[in-house]
Amino acid sequence: MKSLLMALMLVMLIAPQHAAGESQRPISRTILETSPLGITNGGTSIIPINSRPDGVFSFLGARFTLQSKTLITGVGGHVKSYDPQVLPYPPGFNGDRSLFVAIVPTIDAVSFPDLALSQAVFVAVFDAPFNSVGPFPFQVPETIIETHRLLFPGDYVIIFGSGLFGATGSGWMPIASMDFGTPRYIFANNHTGVAEFHEGGFQPARFVVVGSPVGIGNPRYTVTTFDVPGASGTALRGIDHHQVVGYYEDPNSEVHGFLYAHGVFVPLDVPDSSGTFPAGINHRGDIVGWYREKDQFVHGFLYRKGVFTTLDIDISGRYDTQLIGINNRGQIIGFYSGSDGLSHGFLYANGVFAPLAVPNARITIPRGINNRGQIVGSYQDQNLRSHGFIYDDGEFTTLDVPGASGTALNAINHRGQIAGLFFDQAQHGHGFVYANGIFISLDGPGASFTEAWGLDDAGTVVGEYVDSGGDRHGFFATPVIEEPQ
């Protein structure tokens, strides 16, 4: 196993001594965020129905859809009212600042709730904040009502209003500078003498819903050992539907690559190399990885239509290159070892190598890329601690298993599910899947170390584990969706 372990050391996560904790703690995320904070002291009014003859807006809302059962933990947005001590009051305002915020299910993504909001599943009444000075930057903060309300998959609207649930005041939502995405606003007014809901109708305003998906969509996994016949060690690295790539060590301690598809093994050895390590595969069957020459230098390779092509980053001071992943667009991620002794990440697309480095990190290693171009990996900070990262649309976001002493994100699929590795407080390595805001641990049978390397769009995970006797095995982990009690 020595040669296989030496190859794995090139991409192994450093595990510093820090305390670790629970690995399956739900993480709240933003379910709906329609705009930034408002930047004007004017906006779209909220007043009780029929309290003014000109019929300005009474209820303001935004649609959102839940794909899975979700624990809602925060509901609100940017809303304000007038200073009740300042006279004269604007028309329709009597000093009352009480408003409500509600969440109401709808039949589908285009239907409206009834005007009485009789089906509301969440309601909170509050006094809208106010200020006595001018516009931004003297704007009031947003209002977020904390809750723990479990909602099921479906279509909903969040509504600010008055005239129901004991709220009788007036206020408005300040106009924001832009929308985030394409919010689906709704409003109610009585311009026609009969109050009713309509689509759109007002400028950008901030609605916020925060929660943690739970239940449906958060699977358990069935782990199955997979060993190349006659091998002394096996590692599965990449998967795309029914195609799996990896490598194994033979009884003579030589490392060989392979493709396993539809029950058939296909050997993948770069000619005249002393070890071949396939790491990623796309839907077309293009395979990337690295190989070791007789002189022990390491080179990246692309295997396409039966032909191996060496692909090394052309940069001064480069010693080794490893290609780790490839998507259906032909984008390739990897890293190289520089003369500084550190690892440096890159993205290769359209014949051009582009550096990929987490700001202020000592080491950056991209490890997975999906068909949307989202990249995951690991980086080492200045304190030598390893963290996971997501790179999306030009921005890096850190994602660590809660309480872990080290985290690496190794794969991301089209659904945004992530597979990887973390170390617990005893410095034991565990695989994991991150899905719908939940970290789910994965361990091989009787394993002392497990790492999840690959993840396809169906949620199937591949990787490797070390048993109690020190032998290395590949594994498949198949998701089993179940509804918790």
Q: Which of 207-211, 218-222, 374-378 has the lowest average pLDDT?
A: 218-222
Mean pLDDT of 256-283: 95
**pLDDT at residue 216 greater than cutoff 50:** no
Res. 169 pLDDT band, cuts 50 70 90: confident
| Number of neighbouring beta carbons within 10 Å of residue 46 | 28
* Position with higher pLDDT, 108 vs 434: 434
CA–CA gap between residue 199 and residue 100 (Å, rounded)? 20
- Mean predicted confidence (pLDDT) in 426-430: 90
Domain spanning 2-26+217-480, CATH architecture: 6 Propeller (2.120)
pLDDT at 49 over 90: no
Q: Is the pLDDT of residue 153 over 50?
A: yes
DSSP states of 381-414 as a string? -TTS-EEEEEEETTEEEE---TT-SEEEEEEE-T
Token readout for 68 is 């899975």
Show Cβ contacts of residue 167 under 8 Å, excluding neighbours closer than 6 positions.
Answer: 98, 99, 100, 125, 161
Indicate the pLDDT class of residue 29, thresholds 50, 70 and 90. confident
**Residues 198-221: what's their mean pLDDT?**
78
Q: Give the helix ranges, DSSP H, for 67-136.
A: none
Looking at 97-242, which runs of residues are DSSP E strands? 98-106, 122-127, 143-151, 154-161, 171-174, 185-189, 196-199, 207-213, 220-226, 233-240
Look at residue 282 and tell me whether its pLDDT is greater than 90: yes
User: Residue 284 contacts by C-beta under 8 Å, 6 or more apart in sequence?
Assistant: 328
Among 72, 76, 102, 104, residue whose Cα is nearest residue 210: 72
pLDDT band at 148 (very low <50, low <70, confident <90, very high): confident
For range 437-462, the mean pLDDT: 92
Q: Are 398 and 392 in contact (CB under 8 A)?
A: no
Q: Which of 38-42, 370-374, 406-410, 441-445 has the highest average model confidence (pLDDT)?
A: 406-410
Using DSSP, state whether 5 is helix, strand or coil: helix
Residue in the block written with tokens 């819903």? 209
| Domain residue ranges of the chain, discontinuous segments joined by + | 2-26+217-480, 29-213
Percent of the chain surpassing pLDDT 90? 55
For 125-139, 180-194, 319-333, which range has the lowest pLDDT when averaged over its residues? Answer: 125-139
Q: What is the pLDDT confidence band of residue 485, given thresholds at 50, 70 and 90? A: very low
Q: Give me the sheet containing 395-398, strands edge to edge.
A: 363-369, 375-380, 386-392, 395-398
What is the spatial distance between Cα 192 and Cα 190, in angstroms, rounded to a whole number?
5
Element (H, E) at 6: helix 2-9
Distance in angstroms (rounded) separating the CA atoms of residues 7 and 3:
6
E-state strands within 55-163: 59-66, 70-77, 98-106, 122-127, 143-151, 154-161
Residues 6+ apart with CB under 8 A from 463: 235, 236, 419, 431, 442, 450, 451, 452, 453, 454, 474, 475, 477
Q: What is the pLDDT of residue 481?
A: 54
Nearest to 237 by CA among 431, 436, 427: 431
3-state secondary structure of 144: strand
**Nearest residue to 463 (alpha-carbon basis) of 229, 246, 240:** 246
Largest Cα separation within the chain, whole Å, is 91
Give the model confidence (pLDDT) of 353-389 as tens digits.
999 999 999 999 999 999 989 999 999 999 999 999 9
pLDDT class of 228 with cuts at 50, 70, 90: very high
Instruction: Round to whole Å and give the CA distance between 97 and 57.
Output: 16
Q: What value does the mean pLDDT take over residues 335-349?
A: 92
For residue 359, with 0-12 CB atoms within 10 Å meaning exposed, 13-18 middle and 19 or more buried, which class applies? exposed
Q: Which of 36, 407, 89, 7 shows the shortest CA–CA distance to 207?
A: 36
Does the pLDDT at position 193 exceed 60? no
Q: Over 80: is that where the pLDDT of 143 sits?
A: yes
Pure H helices in 80-179? none
Residue 19 confidence (pLDDT) above 70: no
